[in-house]
Amino acid sequence: MIEYRNLKIAILGGGSVGAQVANLLIQHGDELAARAGAGLEVIGVAVRDLDAKRDTDIPQHLLTTDAPALILGADLVVELIGGIEPARTYILQALHSGADVITANKAVLANHGPELFEAAEQVGAQLYYEAAVGGAIPIIRPLRDSLAGDRVTRILGIVNGTTNFILDRMDTEGDSLEAALAEATRLGYAEADPTADVEGFDAAQKAAILASLAFHTTVPLEAVHREGMTTVTHDQVLAARKAGYVVKLLAICERITDATGTEGVAARVHPALVPRDHPLAAVHGANNAVFVEAEAAGSLMFYGAGAGGIQTASAVLGDIVSAARRHVAGGPGVAESTHANLPVLPMSSVTTRYQITLTVLDEPGVLAAIATLFSDRGVSVEGVSQSVRDGGDSARPTATLVIITHEASESALAATVEALATNSAVSAVVSVLRVEGL
Ligand code: NDP
Ligand code: HSE
């Protein structure tokens, strides 16, 4: 029998993820010890309510409401409370007491990442966060380690399961947004208050984390352009299907060069049209996927369960084993890399393609006038399709135009849409959607 050094593990939070982590650590302790080269002893699980019902049984003697005392005696602290406070304070306390910290908390990382990484570096401790983006999907370690020798150019991510479930139901079942959201809530995907999901806040936090890591640059949450998916209509999803696209809420992090020649990074979250033959179009239900483009590696896709207690616990346990190995082997671990320190460029610097749907008067010269509105603002049209007359009155019938542009800047596109909206030949700007993944 091998005698291992024992590492004391404090788990903060015994909810969906914390209860599963505690249970798996206790159940598979011997096997994990062999992998880690150290015994992994759960010394306690901090919660708010000692009598709350839990997804899996946690031995009652391990439960405590005194998180600060629990942290003091730990080698590894696993923060699974979520939110900003008290999670931030507990993480700092743990790092200052010399413990390595494992967290699944995207909110605290996106809002206070630099402070936490600096604290870790100062004391020679390590902060692990594989579960913070994409739940069970390994994406943090591949970006930090496997792709450390490459240059990532772009990340397209479906990083919120709730919104992917909703958009997928609208696309495949013809559900309304409200009906799909109700089903997501019934199945337990959506939060009781799903605002963070549907308004893109959750995805924006994950985008900030991914962009910072991929581009070796601190990307603050405030610099992530965010649009939610509550404006996506049933008609847009149907029209996208007919045109060979699917609507997805994407987190996009990219290396770009702006009009002045400055190289920087940009991060954004918004609904977008994705061609049906793109790998991201095949991500159904509440699954997540992160599509990474790198100069040497080319395109890579990481796919799987982006949420769920036991699925997320898998990523947390991987971090616990890594942290334990470091404790056994010693050494400084991997510091957060922000050496590139690229400028974080605003949304107005981003270029992409657009699909604009208009209702226009079906009269001679209208198409030419509209084409001029685009070309006058430097937006090049790639293709136009016109439906047969579909509205208006008999004296002035209207038709629907669907226009796809070549790459154009956000500012040029915004100016074009403004000009379209006030043009007398245009009855309505029905929809403006970005097109990604072409
Ligand atoms: P839950 O809300 O299910 O659990 C939170 C736990 O924290 C509860 O056990 C709660 O105690 C405890 N808690 C809350 N406040 C305090 C406090 N002040 N002191 C001590 N304990 C406290 O959250 P999840 O397990 O779902 O999420 C945990 C983390 O994992 C979050 O950062 C989340 O973003 C992340 N994550 C979650 C995923 C998921 O699918 N659930 C997926 C990916 C990441 P009590 O039980 O007594 O109320
Ligand atoms: N609410 C999140 C989602 C959970 O729907 O993906 C995982 O962060």
The two tokens of residue 394 are 């008999």
Looking at ligand 2, which atom is closest to the CA of residue 196?
Answer: 1
**Whether the domain at 7-135+310-329 and the domain at 350-435 fall into the same CATH topology:** no
Inter-residue contact 377 to 419 (CB < 8 Å): yes
- Is the pLDDT at 389 greater than 70? The verdict is no
Q: Where are the domains of the chain?
A: 7-135+310-329, 140-305, 350-435
Q: What is the pLDDT of residues 329-360, one digit of tens each?
A: 887 777 788 999 999 999 999 999 999 999 99
Q: What is the pLDDT of residues 146-178, one digit of tens each?
A: 999 999 999 999 999 999 999 999 999 999 999
Task: Kindly state if the Cβ of 184 falls inside 6 Å of ligand 2.
Answer: no
The pLDDT score that the predictor gives to residue 336 is 82
Cα 104 to middle of ligand 1, angstroms: 9
Task: Kindly state if the Cβ of 160 falls inside 6 Å of ligand 2.
Answer: yes
Task: Kindly state if the Cβ of 336 falls inside 6 Å of ligand 2.
Answer: no
Q: What is the b/e burial string over 26-53, where b = at least 16 CB atoms within 10 angstroms of the residue's CB?
A: beeeeebbeebbbbbbbbbbbbeeeeee
Residue of the nearest CA to atom 2 in ligand 1?
15
Burial class of residue 383 in the structure, from the number of CB atoms within 10 Å of its CB (0-12 exposed, 13-18 middle, 19+ buried)? exposed
Give the separation between CA 251 and CA 211, rounded to whole angstroms. 10
Looking at ligand 1, which atom is closest to the CA of residue 14?
Answer: 9
* Ligand number, closest to the Cα atom of 309: 1
Give the separation between CA 262 and CA 214, rounded to whole angstroms. 18
pTM for the full model? 0.95
Q: Which fold has domain 350-435?
A: Alpha-Beta Plaits (3.30.70)
List, in order, residues 6 or more apart from 129 with CB less than 8 Å away. Answer: 102, 103, 104, 105, 109, 140, 209, 319
SS3 314: helix
Q: Using only C-alpha atoms, what is the Rg of the chain?
A: 25
Report the helix count and the strand count for the chain, using DSSP H and E: 14, 18
Q: Which fold has domain 140-305?
A: Dihydrodipicolinate Reductase; domain 2 (3.30.360)
Inter-residue contact 429 to 420 (CB < 8 Å): yes
206 tagged catalytic: yes
Q: Which fold has domain 7-135+310-329?
A: Rossmann fold (3.40.50)
Looking at ligand 2, which atom is closest to the CA of residue 106?
Answer: 8
- Got the DSSP string for 153-212? EEEEEE--HHHHHHHHHHHHT---HHHHHHHHHHTT-S-SSTHHHHTSHHHHHHHHHHHH
The pLDDT score that the predictor gives to residue 146 is 96
- Is the pLDDT at 201 greater than 80? The verdict is yes
The pLDDT score that the predictor gives to residue 186 is 84
* Ligand number, closest to the Cα atom of 181: 2
Q: Which residues line ligand 1 (CB under 6 A)?
A: 12-18, 46-49, 52, 67, 80-82, 86, 104-106, 131, 135, 307-309, 312
